[in-house]
Amino acid sequence: MDPVTELLGKAIEVLERDGWHQGAYCSKGAGRFGADFYAYGPDDGGSVCALGALNRANSGNAWAVHRDPDVSLVRTQAHQRLSDEIGGGVPDWNDNPSRTYEDVILTFKKAMAAGG
């Protein structure tokens, strides 16, 4: 399994374990885009949006991407694969009031399958 597909699978596990959220990367610590967005370390927990799930699966922190550029590149590629699957921006898609948890999980699975 390629690293992008693997990360998408780990993000599904995060969503299944921690729950899905709309309106922010994470239900706890909203607005934590501080001076060090690339902070590395665990966050405060809580449910996550689609991108928060990718971040937490990648760096352990829903609010941050991994400091290692090779590791964060995999997260960027997974984000792109999700964008390709939905045909647009992930934040607006995730936060659409008609969106459901089931939609999000199904889209992650489709993005995994798109990787071969």
pTM attached to this predicted model: 0.87
Reported as type and span, the H/E element at residue 31 is: none
Structural tokens at position 54: 């990718």
In this prediction, residue 1 carries a pLDDT of 86
Higher pLDDT, 43 or 54: 54
**Token pair 């889209």: residue:** 107
The mean of the pLDDT values for the chain is 86
What contacts 40, CB < 8 A, 6 or more positions away?
A: 59, 60, 61, 64, 66, 67
Domain ranges of the chain: 3-114
Give the Cα-Cα-Cα angle 16, 20, 26 (nearest 5 degrees): 115
Give the dihedral sign, CA 49/38/2/81.
Answer: positive
**For range 102-108, the mean pLDDT:** 98
**For the segment 48-103, what is each residue's pLDDT rounded down to a tens digit?**
999 999 999 988 888 777 777 777 899 999 999 999 999 999 999 999 999 999 99
**For range 21-39, the mean pLDDT:** 66
In this prediction, residue 100 carries a pLDDT of 97
Q: What is the CA radius of gyration of the chain?
A: 13
